[in-house]
Amino acid sequence: MTAVSTPGVEAAPYTVEEVCEHFDPVMGLEVHVELNTATKMFCGCANAFGAEPNTNICPVCLGLPGSLPRVNGAAVESAIKIGLALNCRVRERSGFARKNYFYPDMPKNFQISQYEDPIVFDGYLDVPLDDGGTWRVEIERAHMEEDTGKSLHVGGATGRIHGADYSLLDYNRSGVPLIEIVTKPIVGARDRAPMVARAYVTALRDILRGLGVSDVRMDQGSMRCDANVSLTPKGSPVFGTRTETKNVNSLRSVERAVRYEMGRQAGVLLSGGTVRQETRHFDEQSGTTSPGRAKETLADYRYFPEPDLPPLEPGSAWVESLRAGLPERPWERRARIQTEWSLSDEELRDLVNANALDLVADTVEAGAPPEAARSWWVSYLLQQANKREVTLPELSITPAQVARVIALVAEGTLTNKLARQVVDGVLEGEGDPDEVVAGRGLAVVSDESALTAAVDEALAAQPAVAEKIRAGKTKAAGAIVGAVMKATRGQADAARVQELVLERCR
């Protein structure tokens, strides 16, 4: 009992398979998503990640006396789109509520949120699983709220507010629009529970990315997951006591956190203990969870309707127009693209893993043939991304620019080798492909008379080789072609040079 209840880095005592011999796991997943609207939820400040502390602030998001919130319509639109993509119902009349508690990173000491009447509710998501199946996750609700500021506790051992020498507060994030998406209890997944959790968060991330409503960067905190886990003894009609694990900052961590909690709780229960209802923190390093600060009198947030904001009444015409504009679901789009481009499963997986699918699709959209588009993104551009330690979408080249490079190759203006130099120029910020071609002087030498002259010059310089070619040893042409390419600084079409060499020796 002591051994298993001590927080630490030891592995959970039971595997999921062992857990499921005795218990059925029940999960609830709460995902917070920061919207990427231009401005904050209730004021006109920029919603931007990574600015100097306390630069994107105003009386409203600082909660100064006398200030009043005003709702960002773009955030409401994003919330409705998310709801529709999750097959939710949109409430005809919803409202904001105040959630009251004291914390220094929350400048009003209440958070404007939604309580009894979230804007969207009662939906589901059919989640594709790694094993080829699908799992329907039911959605309880998704609601809008404002993010808090960030505190940095300086000094002390824990990095938490207690024991710190002093704390710094950055309110740039204060008032950033958040959507909290809450599932209904996920039951019956048994030993697949950790995989289902990961697959759900993955699918949700893909959907949100497809909607373009959030950066969904778990590493930057624009998508955060809290995992509620409990174990029901087999045959029992009552759910067990749940824990809520926070700080789950990657897709892999979602799976690991659920797996660890299942094993840990089974250890507690099977040794005769009871699971405490508590908040736990996930540790990326060890893959374990540990209890949060114990103060657990149940918080009473004293929710009441936000008197500064009128009810939200999105008209059905607006909702229907948003529904009509929803993009394909990412996995449906993938299936379609796979068929249209005749990709193998492996090729498709490579594209998805490299974050390249949308980029390739957009490149094709911009006029490039699928094969060329795919090849550019997963080979040369992927190398460049790796070299620069960024992801493919972060490379400073657009699908339209890549499509233009491909077109320049197809029309013979560039060789593949020159095309790579053009791409380098674009990545270095030298402008569009045509500007780089002009700026670096990279176009293929296609002036036939100039090329012919160069060939003649090379043949004259190497009479012995010329003689061999004339005698039918066409392989010897390589030496002349090489000389011509060198003379034109690589800007000639080698195949055409080869043809010319043979022509001139006929």
Partner 1 sequence: MSDMISLDAAELARRIHAREVSSVEVTRAHLQRIEAVDGPSDGSAGPDGVHAFLHVDADGALAAAEAADRAIAEGGPVSPLAGVPVALKDNLTTTDMPTTCASRILDGWRPPYDATVVARLRAAGLVPLGKTNLDEFAMGSSTENSAFGPTRNPWDLTRVPGGSGGGSSASVAAGEAPLALGSDTGGSIRQPGAVTGTVGVKPTYGTVSRYGLVAFSSSLDQIGPCARSVLDAALLHEVVGGHDRCDQTSVNAPLPPVVEAALAGARGDLAGVRVGVVGELSGEGYQPGVLAAFTDAVRTLGELGAEVVEVSCPSFSYALPAYYLIAPSEASSNLARFDAMRYGLRVGDDGERSTDEVMSLTREAGFGAEVKRRIMIGTHALSAGSYDALYGKAQKARTLIVRDFTAAFETCDVLVSPTTPTTAFAIGERVDDPLAMYLADLCTIPANLAGNAALSVPCGTSPDDGLPVGLQVMAPALADDRAYRVAAAYETARSSTPDAAPRIPELRALETTR
Q: Which residues of 415-430 are buried (b: 16+ CB within 10 A; e: fewer)?
A: beebbbbbbebbbeee
Q: Are 391 and 355 in contact (CB under 8 A)?
A: yes
The answer to the question of residue 54 lying near partner 1 (CB under 8 A) is no
Q: Are 352 and 202 in contact (CB under 8 A)?
A: no
Of the residues 73, 104, 233, 367, which one makes contact with partner 1 according to CB under 8 A: 104
Quote the least distance from Cβ 174 to Zn ion, whole Å: 8
The tokens for 254 are: 């979602």
Q: Which long-range contacts (CB under 8 A, 24 or more apart) does 15-18 make?
A: 15/263, 16/191, 16/193, 16/194, 16/259, 16/262, 16/263, 17/191, 18/263, 18/266
Quote the least distance from Cβ 103 to partner 1, whole Å: 9
433-to-72, 379, 401, 406 alpha-carbon distances in Å: 38, 19, 6, 10
Residues forming contacts to Zn ion in the complex (CB under 5 A) are 43, 45, 58, 60-61
Nearer to partner 1, 71 or 494 (CB): 71
255-to-18, 129, 160, 371 alpha-carbon distances in Å: 17, 13, 26, 35
The answer to the question of residue 167 lying near partner 1 (CB under 8 A) is yes
Beta bridge partners of 25: 231
The tokens for 494 are: 């080698």
176-to-58, 219, 358 alpha-carbon distances in Å: 13, 17, 27
Size of the site for partner 1 (CB under 8 A): 31
Secondary structure (DSSP) of 354-376? TT-HHHHHHHHHTT--HHHHHHI
Of the residues 40, 91, 108, 374, which one makes contact with partner 1 according to CB under 8 A: 108
The answer to the question of residue 63 lying near partner 1 (CB under 8 A) is yes
Binding region for partner 1 (CB under 8 A) out of 57-65, 227-235, 278-286, 401-409: 57-65
10 Å CB burial of residue 432 (0-12, 13-18, 19+) is: middle
Rounded CA Rg of the chain: 30
Of the residues 25, 28, 95, 107, which one makes contact with partner 1 according to CB under 8 A: 107
Q: Are 312 and 277 in contact (CB under 8 A)?
A: no
Binding region for partner 1 (CB under 8 A) out of 10-18, 68-76, 79-87, 139-147: 68-76
Residue 446 DSSP SS3: coil
Quote the least distance from Cβ 175 to Zn ion, whole Å: 6
Residue 101 DSSP SS3: coil
The tokens for 133 are: 């199946």
Nearer to partner 1, 17 or 166 (CB): 166
Q: Which does 59 bind (CB under 5 to 8 A by kind): partner 1, Zn ion, none?
A: partner 1
- Pattern 110-149, binding to partner 1, x per CB under 8 A? x---------------------------------------
Nearer to Zn ion, 34 or 493 (CB): 34
Q: Which does 61 bind (CB under 5 to 8 A by kind): Zn ion, partner 1, none?
A: Zn ion
DSSP secondary structure letter of residue 43: S
The answer to the question of residue 109 lying near partner 1 (CB under 8 A) is yes
Q: Are 469 and 502 in contact (CB under 8 A)?
A: yes
Binding region for partner 1 (CB under 8 A) out of 5-13, 58-66, 190-198, 200-208: 58-66
Binding region for partner 1 (CB under 8 A) out of 55-63, 84-92, 124-132, 487-495: 55-63
Q: Which does 45 bind (CB under 5 to 8 A by kind): partner 1, Zn ion, none?
A: Zn ion
Helix (H) or strand (E) holding 155: none
Binding region for partner 1 (CB under 8 A) out of 72-80, 104-112, 195-203, 424-432: 104-112
Of the residues 8, 11, 55, 59, which one makes contact with partner 1 according to CB under 8 A: 59
Nearer to partner 1, 66 or 441 (CB): 66
Nearer to partner 1, 63 or 221 (CB): 63
The answer to the question of residue 68 lying near partner 1 (CB under 8 A) is yes
447-to-179, 319, 454, 461, 505 alpha-carbon distances in Å: 60, 59, 11, 21, 20
Of the residues 65, 235, 429, 463, which one makes contact with partner 1 according to CB under 8 A: 65
Nearer to partner 1, 100 or 232 (CB): 100
Quote the least distance from Cβ 30 to partner 1, whole Å: 21
Residues 272-311 touching partner 1, rule: CB under 8 A, are 300, 302-304, 307-310
Of the residues 51, 74, 129, 169, which one makes contact with partner 1 according to CB under 8 A: 169
Any idea which residue has 């193998």 for tokens? 344
DSSP secondary structure letter of residue 39: B
List interacting residues with partner 1 (CB under 8 A). 59, 62-71, 98, 100, 102, 104, 107-110, 161-162, 167, 169, 300, 302-304, 307-310
